[in-house]
Structure 1
Amino acid sequence: MYQKYIAVIGALLCGVAVSRAVEDKMVLQPGPEGVDKWFGSYYNKQGVNNGILRVGGWGDYYNSLIKFDGATQTVPGSFKRAELWLYHFNTTRPTDINMWLLKTRWSEAPWDHANLAGYYLGRYYGPSIGSGWYGIDITSSVNYWRLAPSLNYGLLLTPAANDNRYDEFYSSDSSSVTLRPKLHVIYDLDFKMPLPGGKAWKLTVEAGGKANDGIDDPFHKGTTYYSLDFSPWSVQASGIGPMYPETDAPVLAMEGGKVYFVGNDPGHPNGYHVKIDHGCDNDTSSGFQTVYSHFKSPPLVTKGQIVIQGQKLGIMGNTGISTATHLHVTAYFQGTASGEGTDPQLNQLSIEGRLIKDYKLNSLSPSTPIFYPSSNVIK
């Protein structure tokens, strides 16, 4: 019992670093439920919904309509920009594209586009000759829809020329599933410590596996991840006063996202644990994910649940392959491995403004505790 009254003598407190955000994205790529079609000014005036989108013409004009219902959904971090991606095919004589932000409703039903009106956004260079992905920055449009979701009527794409020039793209009804239109919503993530703020928490294993007991842990650095271990011992964020062993320390979401896995088996190597995708797009093959392991009891969230930064996920514990109460937290970035055996994006990931790879033990005396402050707020 006397331990909780030991003053922080010989311990080191790392101060708060400058905030550094990292970029992630949510990818929306609807299937047949997507809303898009093309129509002509003379032929096919009623509208065509046949797996392609056409922009161009030869005497008449072919125009395309597209709308992403998910464009206004909440993103985990701070919205940054948005990009429309269309896959063009067999392009031989491309045309530049004029784009309009629509202010009137339409649907895929025949003729339900007769009274279109909108705001002109500008002229964009057309796709290159051949086939491939064609991107347009639509940040201003998505930002407008996010401010007024009820006004999301989509976009109109019209040709800048109709002298036998055509751009053809796959639509959301295409049988080429991976080539359907995509909306990339890009945002900044600002990760916080996975433990309550107002305190600084004792690091016991750093990224790379160096532990304060002198025994290296091999599960702390891989080609797509870094891991850290924190014990239940904490001090006041100011560094003044005693250090305490916390009882039932809450484990918090480091940033907003979508729960894509909940481990309810205490016998699993990770014990009770939670996995969060910070892309919120059901695609864990790209972007950032975080994993929180060894909870004391079953997690407090469910698979598919959207969580916000600071949301309580569970209680620090000792389930799974674990020898003492602690939190094992892992940050993943799925992509092309390079650099120091990890992705460049992962090497840029910071927690509380400090790069995750810079969460270090005392290099001169690993047994001397180092505490890292948190500003995360329990939600």
Structure 2
Amino acid sequence: MLALVTTGHPRSHRRNRKRTLRLVLIVGVVGALAAVAAYVVPLLLPPGPRPLFQLPVACGETWQLGTYPGHGDHDVDLFPLDGDPWGQPVLASYEGTVTVAGINGSLGGRTPDNPDGPRGRGGGYWVKIDHGGRWETQYLHLLEPPLVAVGQRVAQGEQIGRIGSTGNSGAPHLHYEQRRGWQKVETWFDGSPSGITHDDAEYTMRLTSNNCAPAQS
């Protein structure tokens, strides 16, 4: 008869398995900590210098900017002074990377064919762009799904959507915000403050867009 031959001791195999499991756990924990650090550390750094934001509308056009009580400090609503607001282009205020392109809340039923349809909730179709240095812009109430996708790099002045009235909106307009870190701040355009800082009262102003294509060399 052939004798049964074994190699090693059962206990040694168990010890090897335990060491392997420990190693796997350690590698997993280290990887998780590295991933968390890569996300958290940039958020703890001070914001960089303010980008040279431009109005998110076509070059040379003059738009009305405004706010009203309960709207939110530093929130800006933009309305064109000429033409039908429905479908007018919304442009990136500055170059950056799209971090959100989708639906905030619910869309509602207000369209160019049914402007008095039911309101939705929140911002409707919207876009967020990360401009680096912990600066961000947000564009809400777009007419239709954004023209950009998450992760896409956009240039200043590139069209990202069209004016609409989705979400909690009473009329076609663009709700716009600039954020530094976690905080909304007063919007600046072409190097100057917009003057819209609080929502204690309803007030408006007019600004002309310098969101123009760079000169071709």
Normalising by the smaller structure, the TM-score range is 0.5 to 0.7
- DSSP-derived class of the 2:171 partner: coil
Which residue of structure 2 lines up, in the alignment, with residue 359 of structure 1?
196
TM-score, normalised to structure 1's length?
A: 0.37
Q: What is the alpha-carbon distance in structure 1 between the residues aligned to residue 91 and residue 75 of structure 2?
A: 16
Which residue of structure 1 lines up, in the alignment, with residue 25 of structure 2?
none
CA contact (8 A) 2:50 2:135 kept: no
Q: What is the alpha-carbon distance in structure 2 between the residues aligned to residue 331 and residue 271 of structure 1?
A: 18
Q: What is the alpha-carbon distance in structure 2 between the residues aligned to residue 270 and residue 258 of structure 1?
A: 20
Residues 265-311 of structure 1 show CA distances to partners (whole Å, capped at 9, x for unaligned) of: 625510111111112xxxxxx71111100011111001111111111
Structure 2 unaligned runs (5+)? 1-29, 108-119
Task: Supply the AA of the counterpart residue of 2:76.
Answer: L
The structure in which a higher percent of residues are strand is 1
Which residue of structure 2 lines up, in the alignment, with residue 71 of structure 1?
none
Q: What is the alpha-carbon distance in structure 2 between the residues aligned to residue 365 and residue 227 of structure 1?
A: 12
Structure 1's 189 and 198: CA in aligned 2 closer, same or farther, altered over 3 A? same
Post-superposition shift, 1:191?
0.1
CA contact (8 A) 1:312 1:378 kept: no
Post-superposition shift, 1:259?
0.6
Q: CA RMSD in A?
A: 3.4
CA contact (8 A) 1:197 1:375 kept: yes
- DSSP-derived class of the 1:254 partner: coil
Where do residues 91-240 of structure 1 align in structure 2 (5 Å cutoff)? 177=34, 178=37, 189-205=51-67, 211=68, 216-218=69-71, 220-221=72-73, 226-231=74-79, 233-234=80-81
Post-superposition shift, 1:204?
3.0
1:323 aligns with 2:186: no
Task: Supply the AA of the counterpart residue of 1:299.
Answer: P
Counting aligned pairs with the same residue, the percent is 29
Q: What is the alpha-carbon distance in structure 1 between the residues aligned to residue 85 and residue 172 of structure 2?
A: 10
Where do residues 269-308 of structure 1 align in structure 2 (5 Å cutoff)? 269-279=122-132, 287-308=134-155
Post-superposition shift, 1:260?
0.7
Structure 1 unaligned runs (5+)? 1-173, 206-210, 235-242, 280-285
Q: What is the alpha-carbon distance in structure 2 between the residues aligned to residue 378 and residue 312 of structure 1?
A: 12
Which residue of structure 1 lines up, in the alignment, with residue 98 of structure 2?
259
Corresponding residue pairs, total: 161
Task: Supply the AA of the counterpart residue of 1:374.
Answer: S
Task: Supply the AA of the counterpart residue of 1:195.
Answer: V
Q: What is the alpha-carbon distance in structure 1 between the residues aligned to residue 155 and residue 60 of structure 2?
A: 19
2:188 to 339, 350, 364: 350
The structure in which a higher percent of residues are helix is 2
Post-superposition shift, 1:354?
1.9
1:250 aligns with 2:95: no
Task: Supply the AA of the counterpart residue of 2:97.
Answer: K
Task: Supply the AA of the counterpart residue of 1:373.
Answer: T
Q: What is the alpha-carbon distance in structure 2 between the residues aligned to residue 314 and residue 288 of structure 1?
A: 20
Which residue of structure 2 lines up, in the alignment, with residue 41 of structure 1?
none
Residues 155-204 of structure 1 show CA distances to partners (whole Å, capped at 9, x for unaligned) of: xxxxxxxxxxxxxxxxxxx766238xx999x6761100011111110123
